[in-house]
Amino acid sequence: MSEARRIKSSGFNDIEPAAGRILISEPFTQDFFFGRSVVLLAENEEVGAFGVIVNKPLKIKIKEVFSDLDGFDDFLFLGGPVARERIFYVHSLGDSVPGSLSLSGNLFWGGDLERIKHLITAGVANPEKVRFFAGYSGWAANQLNAEIARKSWLVSFADPEILMDKKPAEMWRRSVMQAGKEFEQWVNYPIRPEYN
């Protein structure tokens, strides 16, 4: 049995995909956007689902997007292939940002952008508390559930400490390890198995 087939047949968990949970791509996904990605779900309803890829920084500094945030030393992240000209944000600032939606624990989606900017310039918010994304990842009705049934995604609980970490390159591995011992083998699989 090939490695890809063996891993696809291994047991997956049965955590429901819901707002505030994460999707971890299986290790053999070769897609530019979703290979070794971690997606934070913002919504999963009958009409569809959406969220942002949280572990793919772009080579664009936030100050290049928002000139009034010159002191915010972080990169813009690729949120997904849809509406890449739009900016979305996740934060751990809670009720101090009006209009935010609670996702899970201390993770919040959106809210008043001007308030977020104010908290950043006041030194209250830093890159460990706010993350900005270009675009989002979206699924039509039943599309995400079908992908999960095909074992393209592992559903897990979001850990704000991992998701807001300054080392996004480690996020996929750390999320896999946190998902359970039965998935630890994933981190040892090569990114391009055909070259092994």
Answer whether residue 148 is part of any domain.
yes
Tens-level pLDDT at each residue, the chain (196 residues)? 444 444 444 456 689 999 999 999 999 888 999 999 999 999 999 999 999 999 999 999 999 999 999 889 999 999 999 999 999 999 999 999 999 999 988 999 999 999 999 999 999 999 999 999 999 999 999 999 999 999 999 999 999 989 998 889 999 999 999 999 999 889 887 776 666 6
Domain extent for 62: 3-181
- Counting the structural domains of the chain, the total is 1
Give the CATH number of the domain where residue 27 resides.
3.40.1740.10
Answer whether residue 188 is part of any domain.
no
Answer whether residue 160 is part of any domain.
yes
Answer whether residue 147 is part of any domain.
yes
- Paired tokens of 76: 């813009």
**Amino acid letter at 158?**
A
Instruction: Quote the CA–CA distance of 71 and 55 in Å, as a whole number.
Output: 22
Please indicate, yes or no, whether the overall pTM of this predicted structure exceeds 0.85: yes
| 8 Å CB contact between 22 and 175 | yes
- Paired tokens of 66: 């928002």
Task: For residue 15, give the DSSP letter.
Answer: P
Question: Taking Cα atoms as reference points, which of 128, 127, 87, 126 lies closest to residue 110?
Answer: 87
Instruction: Quote the CA–CA distance of 84 and 22 in Å, as a whole number.
Output: 20
